[in-house]
Structure formats: C-alpha cells, structure tokens
Amino acid sequence: MTQQMATILLVIAIVGVVASTGIDYELRRIWSFQRKRFSRHAEERRTRLLTRLGRKQEYKADLTEIRDFAVSLQLGTSMNQTLSGSLIAAADQFKKRGIFGQRLDKHVESRLSIAPEEVLKGLADDFKSDHLQLLPERLESARNGGITYDQALSITVAQVEDEIRGSIRNQIQQAPIRLTFPMIGGVFLAALILAIFPLLMSLITSV
C-alpha cells in the first residue's frame, strides 16, 4: 500500500511539474502537428479510395483561402484585366497553396476554354462553399451588365470577412474557458508539489 501511494504521489508530482513549467504546451504543439500530418495522409488515402470507387471527392476550403482568392480576382479585374486573365493569374498564385490551389489550377486548365464562370462552378462543386456557389451567379450578372466585376467580388469579400470576424470573436469568447484550468494548474500545482515532496521522499525512503 505504501509503494502504491508513493507511485501515485510520484505521478502527481510529474504531472504538476509538466503543467507548471509549460512543457505541456510544447507537447500539445507537437501532437497538433503530428495529428494534422496523419489527417492529411488519411485524407489522401480516402481520396484515392473514392477515386477507385468512382465517387466524387468533396474538399474543404479555409475561409481565408476563399477571401484571398476573391481579393485576387478583384485586384485583377480592377486593373482592367479580363476575368479569364484574372483566373489564370490566381491559379498561378495559388497552385502551391494546398488542395484549393491544385483544384483551381486544374479547373483553369480544363474549363477556362468553355467560360470563366465554369472554373468557379467547378470550385463550388469541389468545396461546397456557399460563398463559392454564389460567386459564379454574381459574376454572370456582372457580365450581363447588372453590376461590375469589382462590385460582385467586393460583395463576396465582405461576406467572407464578416464570417471570419465572427469566428474570431467566438474563439476570443471561448478563450477564458479554455485557459481556466491551465491557469489554475500553473498557480496551485507548484504549491501542491512543494507540499507533497517531503511526504513523497519520506515514503520512498521507507520503501
């Protein structure tokens, strides 16, 4: 029983040291990196499997990627560049930025010769984003004389930025809750370790 108690106290002391010195933060960062890596490999295997089965793969696009893409198109069209030229420039800019850039580059190569809106429809089918799904309709309206390309794209940029700001506000509101237990651990565990250490050494010595 004394040995079991000593083991329990030793484990508590180790956990306290880890929490109070901030080592747990580094461990969480390492785990987060490895988890993203494993997730990426799993997604690639899933994509290959769905391709073999003849099923269409659905991808995920970050809001910042969609915003940057719309801003790129807006910048290009505001400089009197055609929508097709803006899409070519965006594909070149984004082609090394993950799956979104890869799909954009593929659709530019395969669909741009049909119509620039077809590239956007291809992206909307891939990523199932409300913002990407509305963008082709707005640009078609702009082409038909309803609004300018710059106005159509500015609406999309504004909506995406509003959603990003809303997400950031939610994260800020949840931050105090997530930080409560680490703060308590950092303040009280050091005192707990100091209180337990003499008892732990006494138990180890007696064993």
Confidence bin at 106 (pLDDT 50/70/90): very high
Question: Is pLDDT of 37 > 60?
Answer: no
> According to the model, what pLDDT value does residue 1 have?
46
CB 104 within 8 A of CB 123: yes
Angle between helices 63-78 and 130-143 (to 10 degrees): 10
Angle, CA of 81, 136 and 118, to the nearest 5°? 80
pLDDT at 160: 92
Mean pLDDT of 36-57: 58
- What percentage of the chain carries pLDDT values higher than 70? 56
Question: In the structure, what pLDDT confidence band is assigned to residue 31 with cuts at 50, 70 and 90?
Answer: low
Q: How confident is the model at residue 47 (pLDDT cuts 50, 70, 90)?
A: low
Q: Give the angle subtended at the CA of 194 by the CAs of 191 and 199, to the nearest 5°.
A: 135
CA distances from 96 to 53, 105, 147 (A): 28, 10, 32
| Separation CA 203–CA 3 (nearest Å) | 8
Tens digits of residue pLDDT in 126-183? 888 889 888 888 888 887 877 788 888 999 999 999 999 988 888 888 767 666 666 6
Q: pLDDT tens digits for 66-81?
A: 999 999 999 998 888 8
Average model confidence (pLDDT) for the chain?
75
Q: Are 83 and 77 in contact (CB under 8 A)?
A: yes
Cβ atoms of 58 and 126 closer than 8 Å: yes
Q: Assess contact for 132 and 123: CB atoms under 8 A.
A: yes
The whole-angstrom distance between residue 15's C-alpha and the CA centroid of its chain comes to: 30
At residue 5, the pLDDT reads 55
Which 8-state DSSP code applies to residue 57?
P
Angle at Cα 168 formed by Cα 104 and Cα 157, nearest 5°? Answer: 40
**pLDDT(20) > 60:** no
Residue 147 gets which letter from DSSP?
S
Three-class SS state of 169: helix
